[in-house]
Structure 1
Amino acid sequence: METYLHSIGNLTIDPISANSSKGNADIKVKNTVYFKKAPFKTQNELEQFLDNGKWTHKSIESRKEKLINFAKKMWCDYESM
């Protein structure tokens, strides 16, 4: 998992204070306590990437692809304005 630690698929937008309070908590705790109530959609949807209830390299790769596709679409839409 070290390879995926700083991958875009493993990162979320979070204020410093919120990030440090989560620490290395289990993904189930983070999802239930923090992410489902988060103000950003990218955090609210993390549950859909879980692999049998776990955050794995497969989860990170799937989320990375979704974020890349979203960015490409946004840039293409922006350029066509």
Structure 2
Amino acid sequence: MNAVWLVETVMRKELVPLKVNLAQFGNQVPHLHWHVIPRWSLDTHFPDAVWAEPQQRSAEQQLAWQNFTEQQQRLLPTYHAALRLALDAL
């Protein structure tokens, strides 16, 4: 569980989501299988689960989400580096 909390902590610091959803699976073969899902008010499913039907969005909202995801993509190398450092320290 420490690994899950660590991923969430680094994600919150580096990507600054509005909230984070945690989902656990592993009902057939016991194993560590968590989804740590950053959420933003602009995302296409917010506030519902990411596996629910997407919300209807205006063209303006869709463009805002596209621009936002492009910005987030640029943060991923920094996030990945911070996550590697944190996990190596466990």
**Bigger RCO (CA 8 Å, 6+ sep):** 1
Q: Same fold (TM over 0.5)?
A: no
**Greater helix share, structure number:** 1
User: TM-score scaled to structure 2, two decimals?
Assistant: 0.29
* Structure-1-length-normalised TM-score: 0.31
Higher strand share: 2
The structure with more radius of gyration: 2
